[in-house]
């Protein structure tokens, strides 16, 4: 009984392809989808793919290891692509800065990073700059200012987002993480805090949704491409 | 005892000025702030200002009525400004489309609208296009596609955001509203639904935060201005 | 000490027999019930029976494998019965369409499917038609219209239910699933969204309760049988 | 700025017309909608219309009082229609029984009742039969059995739904009400209880959503009309 | 570092001894407490003791197996005592009836049972009499009426408590269980439902707290002993 | 349309009559019930009857003032009855002590008190003995010990219940109140605290349910009457 | 019936007197307490006393206006006392700094302030220094450092507490306020955020509990007095 | 990609060093941090380090075992330091008393204890003094009074905090624990209860945050050192 209905036309319709969320799928369905996408030679992006599930999938589809890159911390599998990161000194069209409150937010940050790289968006990561040592975010303020959009990842109190919101003019994509315990409520405290922020115009994602923040950045890039009638954008958006 | 610490430098620092949230302030503090801002001749934007509080404030500051515009549905007071809406046929630099699920979402939509107008961003409103009559959103799809960013306002199930997320390539700013009863949970159902959406890269605001969505759009415009080194942007962002 | 009180008269009283919920029962109680039901030669339907518990039960009751069918994804065990599915071209008295938002909703869909088959109700499954690619549900609209009742299964935002509610005239049985993370709240977002839906007259089931939706369909069939004084119904309902 | 987008085609598309939810609408929008619908001579159904709002609307649209019927307890306004209630002894095509746990559930019950009458569905109401005096529901069991569908309305513990679910073969539409205090949680206890019920195949509506239960019954009637190719149905559904 | 402060005087002060809650204690603390109590020759009652922890404790205190009785389903360990259950025909001073909604509530029921036996209170168990088959509770009504107090154990909707509350005159001790899934909320639905019950004067315990209901029954017995100046009570309460 | 179904047989069946919950009823229904009960000359007990509703009811039924007693703080109306409180020195069959944590718990305490008086159960009230001044409860310990059952009423932290549970041997009926703000959650903190108590065998009621605690005491009295075959009990229970 | 049990000995026992929480008390009880305290000539501190209740109390106890000071924003009434604020240049033994995130937190801040003044603790207030304009808190950093303890009051995201926690060495008493809407959850977001903070050793109070923070400061002062065997402390603590 | 940004200057800035929260970090990040801190010869404090993670870390950094002390119950690893506990009879500058409600609160208590020892603060632990046996806390009252600050650790109802708050004059740092089940809500009941306490000026920490309470005590000590210009303080705070 077929449950799979992959949306191959999404790239041309939306400016980005369909992503496969591994979590919650039966192994058989997952393998069936990956095989189909690979056979179509379509770009592949899989999220929430645990190391153990990846190993089992690899047994069914051993060529995955050659055509794709797997990042265990991110839980992301993506097809090899030429990622044309800007050479030093050269300014890319659109670039993202990721800031995280703590070292424990690494997995979410890497999910964002891999998703951005899949969409060929250059990105710099500034880890462990939480507000309990305020000098850390102030020290990198100038570097972050070079980005067109800031992804702010924080668990526990989520307070970094409000501070970041007051420091930068560009779009802020705030991602609460499930770091913390007790009243953190698996990310609920950070989520509510980011939604209720005193800073202006923050955009909020679901808890641990590093992927979503990266996709919101892809939409920003889409807007820019459409606006600028940029050649690279034309390839992607038409 | 002074509790007021208005941030006059926010415009040059952030690309937008400080907004006054009327709700929760004592009348005395509110009047004091407004008076000070008006004396400085700084642009004024007040949100969550109910009609009855506005009337009381007017008694203390009768000249408000001349220098400012008050929208009762939006609960917004803003200083008169030349809003250079594009003349027909001319394409503005950056424009926003607002779609709402129901007629009951008007107040939130007007809060967005007034905030956008205060920041001189042209905007078109498409009301009452909820998904229980799917033809309504499909009918306006082409018109909405002309916008650089879509603000999607919906209460109850918040389902419009997921549908909108699948129809447009540009940034989607989703605002849950407190429309509905029982399991709607004063907007909690729409909020969770928008955060948990199956659509890619949606950005979510606090419940009823039409103001926040408009400010997120201002940040998008800021990014564009910085990118394009546009003259109008230079005036605002430097 | 006896804790078991199986309701053998439920079929004649209600138009459907008692179902055994395996989850939460001690192994000894579970085996005792199954043995008793088999000895009475009564039809058997067991839900929420994990593969590992099934294996252990099989050791105690090895003949189960011959007399019953077990579906691991559904977690359902049911006695073999002649399922008189309509031959091609022939219209059955009452038929159900199941639509699911994603591939991850398979387990819940199969629980519905097995329960319907146990009650001899033909059913077609349309998987992975979530609203972030709206063409998918619109493409199957005509086929679904042939059904007397639609079971709509969706996790995350649960938005499919509101869209489905606006497309079909017949009863809609909405099942939220625990697919998703963070603000999805183990199905809570989809549940609230379906209860708060802007669509008219949707019926909602407990989270992941594919069984319940199928039983609601059985009640619809019962009503039809009583109404039509149908011969097949007479056998079941009297 | 127009926020109203009334769906006049819903009747032919869905088998029922659009309903106006008064709650949350501005007075101006409400009056505008009612006037437009009346001018089109379309059937009118308004829910959640409080007595005081109705009075204000009446001032703007005084002819409403002649063409429509207003029920204060139900908060429902509906256009006069020939309701062809079955004459004594004659069996109507489709009929509904409403049972309520307590006298305090009256308002929700009347919302169901008015909505059913608007759709010309005959209905009998059995009030105050909560399970703390079990004889009350048992006494009416036979009478309720004559109905094709049971709407069960209960607040507090919502326990009546589970008992009703075990007594009748036909579809049960359970409506939790906000009757009760403290742990009742404005209907949350009854809602969870009905969703988690030990009875089979109950369908659940939002808290206080008497309207929704009636609309689910309309969908049942639609199914029956489609099935039977009934003349009355043909008029409504084609 | 000593964390243990066993209350040996509780029996004379309260009419019942201190109970050891195994859950959450380190193994070392648990063994230390049990050893001390056994050395004092005080009666021992341990709850929430899983089979695996019991096995590890047994290795440290092998004589436990001789002096105590362990019930795996109940998770209860208690010292051997002469339980003077009434001989047939003889009426005991105070007796309890336990009714459970489903077979899955066995573990909680056995926790009550073991606790009652430890306190020498005779008790009859009526399992699997949930309200979806109402005849089951009605069939045993007369037998239950012989008890001085009813412990009612139910998960999911918790509806049995409300029905039981309307059938019996004596104290009802209602225990919600974590049986069920989704909206059951690990017993939260049953708990709220029992607290919000339409029946009069029900007493409610924590979720799965079979022990607590038994202890509430011990308090009832204490009251009776004090009232009657009964000899058996004198031994216990003085 | 009749929604009223008063249970006149409850006294003989249950040992207590039906109580009328005024809250949530329409005025017309309320007046209809009261009139019917008075005409039957049945004992009347109405709870949650606000002063303003009582005044309006009085206009329709002026003789209420003569035949009944109304307590505004309790929100209770009850028919005059000879309450045979024990003369000084004489020990009544069954008596209750009510302890409250604070002065703010008065309304709930008076609801208990009036309900007990309606059922002719003598009762002593000890107000404002919360645990932040522990001497207050210790000072009255001896006096409370004279009661057969303790009703413990507390809001905020609900901590008094746990302390009371450790001081007295007899049944403890704990009532959380909605006193407090913020994290008190309208009584939710006290409720959870009482359910999770470290004390043994406490029984818990719904938030602010002083009536429920009194009814649980009536059930205790019933048990005692049945046990003792007391003459007074015989009149009530047969 | 007396519900009042004022704890006159609390000052000598605890180092602070009993406070009267006006909210939730009946007017009669409130007047009775105030009268008794005034007659005893004991110091009086009343919190959560709204302006309208105060006016009604004043009618019963007109001399209150002379002997006490009422602050409407704080909702605090306190007896006149010589508050020996330090003269300029002189360092007081123990002093507090209050910082608030916004102007809307004034009422909570004034509750703290009045409570501190009642206990003769000098205090400086720094209002409206929320983190969305980070320069505001950094500008006052040095001044705040002069205090022995910081009370940090913030609503919405509560982020100020985490930043303050990283700037100062001394005890931080964090008070979440109910400022904000939607996901702010009446202060719940700020509360969870403060509890889950990434900063070290913050102490958290109930929502809007400005009084509680001041009392925690009184306990700090008590510790200091005990430590220093200070003369002023001796008067208060012995 | 570097995610680590250790704050070596925190000791001089704050009076305490940065602590490493092991939970949520990848093994590689954890090892990298520990190695760096050890190489800098900075004092090391790691919390939430499970025994199994510690073992794996030890394999990478075997010298940890010599330079540090690991407490499995506390989950704390800290560098060896001369802890100058006061010799008998000598009064230390600042000392803490820890009281716990039950034996099950040991792990949280030991986390506090280890953190205090790391900061050279002497401390006495009084375990298992919960309020259901009130004599236990009263028996140790005098001993606890010798401390400058009380850390009160309690799960379930959290009632000990309110009682402790009424017995001692000095700062009370209340820590709710996740001990308990059902309505305890993983510590939520104790947390709300402590926040809503009827006692004055209690400070509350996150659930299970024994570390946080100890750090709040360090802040108290800091205040004292600053106040007293104590030599030991000078070393730490300058």
DSSP character string of D166-177: TT-SS-EEEEE-
Q: Which positions in chain E touch F214 (Cβ < 8 Å)?
A: 201
Rounded to an integer, what distance in angstroms lies between the CA atom of residue B190 and that of residue B175?
Answer: 9
For residue C215, give the nearest of D166, D196, D201 by CB distance: D201
Report the candidate in F203, G52, B228 with the shortest Cα–Cα distance to residue E172.
F203
- In this structure, the number of other CB atoms found within 10 A of the CB of residue G86 comes to 11
Beta bridge partners of B173: B151, B203
What's the mean per-residue pLDDT of chain F? 91
* Model pLDDT, residue B80: 80
Chains near D with 3+ CB pairs less than 8 A apart are B, C, E, F
Q: In Å, how far is A96's CA from the nearest CA of chain G?
A: 21
What are the pLDDT digits (tens) for F181-197?
999 999 999 999 999 99
Q: Is the model's pLDDT at D128 over the cut of 90?
A: yes
Total number of domains constituting chain F: 2
Same domain, D100 and D209: yes
Q: Is the model's pLDDT at F93 over the cut of 90?
A: no
Shortest CA distance from E29: residue in chain H? H103
* Model pLDDT, residue F35: 94
Residue H147 backbone dihedrals phi, psi, to 5 degrees: -85, 160
Residue A183 domain-assigned? yes
Q: Who wins on pLDDT, F221 or H228?
A: F221
Rounded to an integer, what distance in angstroms lies between the CA atom of residue F168 and that of residue F145?
Answer: 7
pLDDT grade, residue A227 (50/70/90)? Answer: confident
Same domain, F27 and F103: no
Chains near G with 3+ CB pairs less than 8 A apart are A, B, F, H
Range of the domain at E145: 96-225
CATH number at residue F107: 3.40.50.1970
Rounded to an integer, what distance in angstroms lies between the CA atom of residue A115 and that of residue F94?
Answer: 73
Q: Who wins on pLDDT, F89 or G54?
A: G54
- DSSP code for B150: E
* Model pLDDT, residue A222: 94
* Model pLDDT, residue G89: 58
Q: Is the model's pLDDT at B238 over the cut of 80?
A: no
**B26 with G183: Cβ contact below 8 A:** no
HSE-up of residue E18 (Cα within 13 Å, Cβ side): 22
What are the pLDDT digits (tens) for D40-71?
888 999 999 999 999 999 999 999 999 999 99
Beta bridge partners of D151: D98, D173
* Model pLDDT, residue G234: 59
**C2 with E127: Cβ contact below 8 A:** yes
Same domain, B130 and B177: yes
Range in A109-113, C111-115, E206-210, H37-41 the model is least confident about: H37-41
Residue E54 domain-assigned? yes
Same domain, D109 and D221: yes
Residue G3 domain-assigned? no
* Model pLDDT, residue H170: 97
What is the percentage of chain D residues whose pLDDT exceeds 70?
A: 90
Residue A236 domain-assigned? no
* Model pLDDT, residue D8: 86
What are the pLDDT digits (tens) for B137-176?
999 999 999 999 999 999 999 999 999 999 999 999 999 9
Residue H5 domain-assigned? no
Best residue in F146, F150, F204 to probe E by mutation, most E CBs within 10 Å?
F204
Report how many Cβ contacts below 8 Å link chain A to chain C. Answer: 61
- In chain F, the N- to C-terminal Cα span, in Å, equals 34
**C203 with D216: Cβ contact below 8 A:** yes
CA gyration radius, chain G: 18
What's the mean per-residue pLDDT of chain E? 91
What are the pLDDT digits (tens) for C86-133?
555 566 789 999 999 999 999 999 999 999 999 999 999 999 999 999
* Model pLDDT, residue G231: 58
* Model pLDDT, residue H12: 84
For residue E15, give the nearest of F169, F214, F226 by CB distance: F169
Residue E31 domain-assigned? yes
Q: Which positions in chain F touch G26 (Cβ < 8 Å)?
A: 73, 106-107
Shortest CA distance from E130: residue in chain C? C5
What are the pLDDT digits (tens) for F123-143?
999 999 999 999 999 999 999
pLDDT grade, residue D141 (50/70/90)? Answer: very high
**Residue G45, exposed/middle/buried by CB under 10 A (0-12, 13-18, 19+)?**
buried
Q: What is this structure's pTM?
A: 0.95
Rounded to an integer, what distance in angstroms lies between the CA atom of residue H133 and that of residue E4?
Answer: 13
Domain end residue (candidates: B52, B79, B106): B79
* Model pLDDT, residue D143: 97
- In this structure, the number of other CB atoms found within 10 A of the CB of residue D236 comes to 18
Rounded to an integer, what distance in angstroms lies between the CA atom of residue B103 and that of residue B78?
Answer: 24
Each residue's pLDDT tens digit in chain H (238 positions)? 667 888 888 888 898 999 999 999 999 999 999 999 989 888 999 999 999 999 999 999 999 999 999 999 999 999 986 555 555 556 678 999 999 999 999 999 999 999 999 999 999 999 999 999 999 999 999 999 999 999 999 999 999 999 999 999 999 999 999 999 999 999 999 999 999 999 999 999 999 999 999 999 999 999 998 887 655 555 656 5
Range in C146-150, C221-225, H1-5 the model is least confident about: H1-5
What are the pLDDT digits (tens) for E24-39?
999 999 999 999 998 9
Q: Is the model's pLDDT at G238 over the cut of 80?
A: no
Which helix (H) or strand (E) segment is B46 a member of? strand B45-47
Range in A222-231, D21-30, D142-151, E84-93 the model is least confident about: E84-93
Domain end residue (candidates: E19, E52, E79): E79
Q: Who wins on pLDDT, G169 or G228?
A: G169
- In this structure, the number of other CB atoms found within 10 A of the CB of residue B162 comes to 34
What are the pLDDT digits (tens) for A122-161?
999 999 999 999 999 999 999 999 999 999 999 999 999 9
Same domain, H113 and H221: yes
Judge D/F contact: 3 or more CB pairs < 8 A.
yes
What are the pLDDT digits (tens) for A50-61?
999 999 999 999
Residue range F65-79: mean pLDDT, rounded: 95
Same domain, C141 and C215: yes
* Model pLDDT, residue A118: 95
Range in A82-91, G1-10, G118-127 the model is least confident about: A82-91
Q: Is the model's pLDDT at A12 over the cut of 90?
A: no
* Model pLDDT, residue E92: 75
Report the candidate in B177, A204, B112, B166 with the shortest Cα–Cα distance to residue C196.
B177
DSSP character string of A84-112: -PPPTTPPPSS-EEEEESSGGGHHHHHHH
* Model pLDDT, residue B228: 77
Same domain, A102 and A75: no
Residue range D197-204: mean pLDDT, rounded: 96
**Residue C60, exposed/middle/buried by CB under 10 A (0-12, 13-18, 19+)?**
middle
Same domain, H194 and H121: yes
Residue A238 domain-assigned? no
Q: Which SS3 state, helix, strand or coil, does residue H201 take? A: coil
* Model pLDDT, residue H89: 58
Q: Is the model's pLDDT at E110 over the cut of 90?
A: yes
pLDDT grade, residue C47 (50/70/90)? Answer: very high
- In this structure, the number of other CB atoms found within 10 A of the CB of residue G71 comes to 16
Judge D/A contact: 3 or more CB pairs < 8 A.
no
Contact residues of F toward D, CB < 8 A: 1-7, 10, 18, 21, 23-26, 29, 33, 48, 176, 178, 186-187, 191, 206-209
Rounded to an integer, what distance in angstroms lies between the CA atom of residue B175 and that of residue F10?
Answer: 52
Q: Is the model's pLDDT at A88 over the cut of 60?
A: no
pLDDT grade, residue F25 (50/70/90)? Answer: very high
Residue E149 backbone dihedrals phi, psi, to 5 degrees: -165, 145
Best residue in B101, B182, B208 to probe D by mutation, most D CBs within 10 Å?
B182
- How distant, in Å, are the alpha carbons of A23, A65, A103, B171, C232 from that of A113? 19, 20, 15, 19, 60
Residue D108 domain-assigned? yes
Shortest CA distance from B103: residue in chain D? D3
Range in B7-21, D70-84, G130-144 the model is least confident about: D70-84
Report the candidate in B150, B186, B156, B143 with the shortest Cα–Cα distance to residue B169.
B150
* Model pLDDT, residue D233: 58
Same domain, A64 and A181: no
pLDDT grade, residue D110 (50/70/90)? Answer: very high
Residue range E179-202: mean pLDDT, rounded: 96
pLDDT grade, residue B20 (50/70/90)? Answer: very high
Beta bridge partners of C174: C152, C204
Rounded to an integer, what distance in angstroms lies between the CA atom of residue E120 and that of residue D177?
Answer: 44
Same domain, H70 and H188: no
Same domain, B108 and B63: no
Same domain, H20 and H70: yes
Residue E175 backbone dihedrals phi, psi, to 5 degrees: -120, 110
What are the pLDDT digits (tens) for C152-186?
999 999 999 999 999 999 999 999 999 999 999 99
């Amino acid at each position: 009984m077929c449950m799979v209905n992959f949306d191959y036309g999404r790239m041309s319709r939306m400016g980005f392809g369909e992503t496969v969320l591994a979590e919650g799928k039966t192994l058989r369905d997952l393998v069936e989808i990956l095989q189909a996408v690979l056979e179509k030679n379509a770009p592949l992006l899989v999220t929430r793919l645990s190391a153990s599930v990846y190993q089992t999938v690899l047994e069914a589809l051993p060529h995955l290891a050659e055509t794709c890159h797997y990042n265990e911390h991110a839980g992301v599998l993506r097809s090899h692509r030429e990622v044309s990161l800007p050479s030093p000194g050269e300014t890319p069209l659109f670039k993202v800065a990721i800031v995280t409150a703590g070292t424990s937010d690494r997995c979410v940050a890497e999910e964002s990073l891999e998703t951005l790289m899949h969409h060929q968006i250059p990105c710099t990561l500034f880890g462990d700059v939480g507000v309990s040592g305020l000098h850390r975010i102030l020290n990198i303020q100038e570097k972050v200012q070079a980005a067109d959009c800031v992804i702010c990842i924080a668990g526990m109190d989520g307070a970094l987002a409000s501070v970041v919101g007051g420091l930068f003019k560009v779009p802020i994509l705030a991602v609460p993480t499930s770091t913390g315990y007790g009243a953190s409520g698996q990310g609920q405290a950070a989520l509510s805090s980011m939604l209720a922020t005193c800073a202006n115009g923050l955009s909020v994602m679901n808890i641990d949704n590093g992927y979503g923040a990266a996709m919101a950045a892809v939409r920003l890039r889409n807007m820019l491409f459409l606006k600028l009638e940029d050649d690279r954008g034309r390839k992607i958006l038409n």
